[in-house]
Structure 1
Amino acid sequence: MSSAKEFSVPPVIFPSGPVQRRATAPFQPRQGQGQGPSPLPFMSFEVGAATTSSFPPPGASALEEEPPLLEELGINTKQIWQKTTSILNPVRVWNPNNLHDDADLSGPVLLLMSFGLFQLLAGKIHFGIILGWVTVSALFLYVVFNMLAGRNGTLDLYRCVSLIGYCMLPMVTLSALSLFLPQGGLAIAAAALLVVAWSTRVCTKLLGQVARWDEHPRLVAYVCFLIYSLFSLLVVF
């Protein structure tokens, strides 16, 4: 067997006194050592400085100049409110500055959906019937009115739909009232007659003002009476 080899190990010398080390800041060189600046300098981030910056975010001026969403969609809430309140007085129809000349469908759709919603609360699903009857009623009123007016007729189909829709406000009231009255009773029938007369008078007056033609008002009123009597049947029965 071969003899074991001996390796020379240098002696380890420990310092005789305690070693004192000085704490240094992070990322900073120790004193007494010839090192350069730290490759990762300490940087402070202040949140308040970013929030109080005088520079606006990109695109802020463009957003401020954008019109409201309802205005972009062509929905004038103030005009809708004025048109709706002009229907409330059946004795004196209020149409300031020919307000109903500017026809729209936002208000009529809102009133028709309200009418259908109250019918839904009564257990009747009539949304499709209501929209269908409004379309047929507008076509019927448009044809009859222009046949009566002849060359003087300036009423278009869009205004017919708008006027019929806004004059549905009394029908919406009747639909809400029917939730508290017995179906098919005398009270609901009397309320339906009053509401039909209310809607008929208002629609007749507005048609004459919008179309600038006030001849044969009884025939026009008869057509409006048939239209709103049809809607009242949905509430009574």
Structure 2
Amino acid sequence: MSFDIPAQSNSTPPIFTGPIGGSGASFEDEPPLLEELGINTRQIWRKTVSILHPLRSADPSLHAYADLSGAFLFLLSFGLFQLLAGKFHFGIVLGWVTVASLFLYFVFSMLFDGHRGDLDLYRCVSLVGYCMLPMVIFSTVSLFLPRGGGLIFGMGMGFVLWSTRVCTRLLAELASSGDEHRGLIAYAFWLVYMLFSVLVIF
């Protein structure tokens, strides 16, 4: 039995430099991760800016393309600021938005008698989520306000009206016959955002 180590050859094994899988694509040709996931950050920013101005009406053409990434970001932000206030409301927020969107979708389906235009359930969830931005601002401001005072109640009503106004106009523009039912649409959204203001105040 021999324990001699065989002499190594002078030739080195070839180093594999090609792409894995042999598809011929390189990492430089890959699209960004957010683009692959369907998240358009520029579109989210433009929608956010269109809602931020309380006196200027949001552009309905921006919200014709529905997405849940920005809406989910605002819902998580709302839950985060509630967490800073000592309230763990993540599950409540997501559950309320889901139930409210389903409720509003079916109510508007009956209200518009089947002529909903561009309104579907996905777009309804997107609208409710994006118009949560004033409520996110309210939950941030409420961290510095005394509890139980009249100031927080007044500010809460103002932010609820802000969210209601923006969401009502966007939905009335996206639905084919939304203008004639604008008052009922506003009342439904007012109830939804009033629930979220109650979470902040109490």
TM-score relative to the length of structure 1 = 0.74
Which segments of 5 or more consecutive residues in structure 2 lack a partner in the other structure?
1-6, 9-16
Alignment of 1:71-90 (within 5 A): 71-90=35-54
Alignment of 1:52-201 (within 5 A): 57-59=17-19, 62-95=26-59, 98-154=61-117, 155-201=119-165
Of the structure 1 ranges 118-127 and 139-148, higher mean CA displacement relative to structure 2 is found in: 139-148
Give, as a single letter, the amino acid of the residue that structure 2 aligns with 1:64.
E
| Offset, 1:92 | 2.5
| Offset, 1:172 | 0.3
Structure 2: distance between partners of 1:90 and 1:147: 30
Residues 95 and 145 of structure 1, relative CA distance in 2, 3 Å threshold: same
Structure 2: distance between partners of 1:146 and 1:198: 24
2:191 is the alignment partner of 1:226 = yes
Number of residue pairs matched by the alignment: 186
Q: For residue 169 of structure 2, what is the aligned residue in structure 1? A: 205
Q: Deviations over 1:185-235 (max 9, x none)?
A: 111101100000000000000001122332210000000000000000000
- Asked if the contact 2:58/2:166 (under 8 Å) is kept, the reply is no
3-state SS, counterpart of residue 191 of structure 2: helix
- Compare the two structures and name the one with the higher helix fraction: 2
Structure 1 consecutive aligned stretches of length 4 or more whose deviation exceeds 6 Å: none
Structure 1: distance between partners of 2:96 and 2:114: 28
| Offset, 1:94 | 2.7
Higher RCO (C-alpha under 8 Å, 6+ residues apart): 2
How much identity, in percent, do the aligned residues show?
Answer: 62
3-state SS, counterpart of residue 152 of structure 1: coil
Q: CA RMSD in A?
A: 2.1
| Offset, 1:61 | 5.2
Which segments of 5 or more consecutive residues in structure 1 lack a partner in the other structure?
1-38, 41-56
TM-score relative to the length of structure 2 = 0.86
2:175 is the alignment partner of 1:215 = no
